[in-house]
């Protein structure tokens, strides 16, 4: 079970000194959640270092690229001073981190606008997109996964299996353009591009984003379903399920009372993993549908090498991803019946 978790805690194998071991034995669940929480915070910090250093250490002088032909040594020095690039790396990192923790991601090099305001506007848009996709995809995928298990190795299962195998292999942009071709060009039922404005009501926004949401659902559902199926089959193959069957209790009762509590943790993991995947899928879908979200903002910034924007967006994406994975792990710890009682 732990193998499938996105991030496994380091504390699992390391010899723990006395008082901590006692604490772990007394509060198996609480201490594990605490550990996972601390690990999440640590990862968040480390990834901020990675994102900052990754850009700063890599070769390629921004000032030179930015100025292009007119890169005289004096102009480069002026620009570096303007953006604070002449400061030592560590100083710049802590300045950046300090500002980020106060909600200030700096100003865009390209437009001079505040990155924080842009992110604040666009993050909401992206979350609506991903959220709507999740609300549709999660129940559908888990349901289909159950269906596949119920009709295991029969035609329905094989069909679902084959279709989902194909769906996993489709690139997001292909699905998106296919949907546009069918539902905008051939049967005009919705509009393209799916640009939302602040003046729109929530309902209008939802109407506009039907196609991007549909794309995300199609892309994420197959994977989620396959993993759900595998997780449930894994539980069904265990010895206590055989015992339940041999005891003669009904299939439904066996699933609800015996399989479900144990399948919960892997399924939560599957869902969280795919929600995290949605965050990435959003990038491509936003570019296709010209949707004013974080992904489009970041891709545009990468094209013109607007580093403060790239760093800001990268950090926000990484933070969401890490938090989702942490939530998944904590939820699956909570769902693990073995940890409810002290040993």
Partner 1 sequence: MNIRSVSLTAWIGMTGIAIAVIAAAFAPWLAPYGENQVVGAPWEAASQAFPLGLDNLGRDLLSRMIYGARMTLFVSFCATVLSFSLGVVLSFVAAVTRGFVDMGLSRLNDLMMSIPTLIFALIVLAALPQNLAVLIGVMAVLDSTRVFRLGRALAGDIAVMDFVEAARLRGEKTLWIVFREILPNAMTPLLAEFGLRLAFAVLFISTLSFLGLGIQPPTADWGGMVKDNKDGIIFGISAALVPGAAIAVLTISINLVVDWLLNRTSSLKGGRGG
Of 56 and 104, the one with the shorter C-beta distance to partner 1 is 56
Question: What pairs with residue 10 in β-bridges?
Answer: none
* Collapsed DSSP state (helix, strand, coil) of residue 114: strand
Of 217 and 283, the one with the shorter C-beta distance to partner 1 is 283
How far apart CA 83 and CA 71 sit, in angstroms, is: 16
Of 50 and 140, the one with the shorter C-beta distance to partner 1 is 50
Tokens of 50: 């990675």
Contact present, 55 and 311 (Cβ < 8 Å): yes
Note the residues at the interface with partner 1 (CB under 8 A): 3, 6-8, 10, 43, 46-47, 50-51, 54-56, 58-60, 162, 165-166, 168-174, 177-178, 180-181, 184-186, 192, 230, 233-234, 237, 276-277, 279-280, 283-284, 287-288, 298-299, 301-303, 305-307, 310-311, 313-314, 317-318, 321-322, 325
Contacts of 48 (CB under 8 A, 6+ apart): 97, 100, 315, 318
DSSP-assigned letters across all residues of 269-321 = HHHHHHHHHHHHHHHHHHHHHT--SHHHHHHHHHHTT-HHHHHHHHHHHHHHH
Of 64 and 82, the one with the shorter C-beta distance to partner 1 is 64
Of 217 and 288, the one with the shorter C-beta distance to partner 1 is 288
Of 19 and 188, the one with the shorter C-beta distance to partner 1 is 188
Q: Is 30 exposed, middle or buried (0-12, 13-18, 19+ CB in 10 A)?
A: middle
How far apart CA 180 and CA 176 sit, in angstroms, is: 6
| Cβ-based neighbour number of residue 282 at 10 Å | 25
Of 7 and 210, the one with the shorter C-beta distance to partner 1 is 7
How far apart CA 206 and CA 217 sit, in angstroms, is: 14
Of 139 and 171, the one with the shorter C-beta distance to partner 1 is 171
| Cβ-based neighbour number of residue 223 at 10 Å | 18
| Cβ-based neighbour number of residue 80 at 10 Å | 16
CB of residue 185 to partner 1, shortest distance in Å: 5
């Amino acid at each position: 079970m732990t193998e499938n978790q996105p991030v496994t805690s380091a504390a699992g194998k390391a010899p723990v000194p006395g008082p901590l071991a006692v604490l772990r034995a007394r509060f198996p669940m609480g201490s594990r959640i605490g550990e996972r929480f601390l690990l999440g915070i640590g990862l968040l910090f480390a990834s901020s270092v990675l994102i900052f250093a990754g850009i700063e250490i890599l070769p390629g002088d921004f000032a030179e690229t930015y100025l292009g032909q007119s890169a005289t040594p004096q102009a480069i020095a002026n620009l570096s001073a303007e953006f604070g690039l002449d400061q030592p790396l560590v100083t710049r990192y802590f300045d950046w981190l300090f500002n980020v923790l106060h909600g200030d991601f700096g100003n865009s090099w390209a437009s001079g606008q505040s990155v924080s305001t842009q992110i604040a506007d666009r993050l909401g848009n992206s979350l609506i997109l991903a959220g709507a996709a999740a609300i549709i995809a999660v129940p559908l995928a888990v349901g289909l996964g159950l269906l596949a298990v119920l009709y295991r190795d029969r035609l329905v299962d094989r069909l679902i299996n084959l279709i989902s195998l194909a769906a996993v292999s489709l690139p997001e942009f292909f699905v998106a353009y296919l949907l546009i071709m069918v539902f905008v060009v051939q049967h005009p039922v919705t509009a393209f591009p799916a640009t939302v404005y602040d003046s729109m009501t929530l309902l209008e926004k939802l109407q506009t984003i039907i196609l991007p949401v549909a794309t995300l659902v199609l892309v994420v559902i197959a994977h989620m379903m396959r993993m759900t199926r595998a997780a449930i089959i894994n539980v069904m193959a265990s010895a206590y399920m055989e015992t339940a069957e041999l005891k003669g209790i009904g299939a439904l009762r066996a699933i609800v009372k015996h399989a479900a509590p144990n399948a919960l943790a892997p399924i939560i993991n599957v869902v969280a993993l795919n929600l995290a995947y949605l965050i990435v899928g959003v990038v491509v879908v936003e570019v296709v549908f010209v949707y004013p979200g974080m992904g489009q903002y970041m891709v545009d910034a990468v094209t013109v090498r607007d580093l403060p924007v790239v760093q800001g967006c990268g950090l926000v994406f990484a933070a969401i991803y890490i938090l989702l994975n942490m939530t998944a792990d904590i939820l699956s710890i909570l769902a693990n019946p073995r940890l409810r009682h002290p040993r």
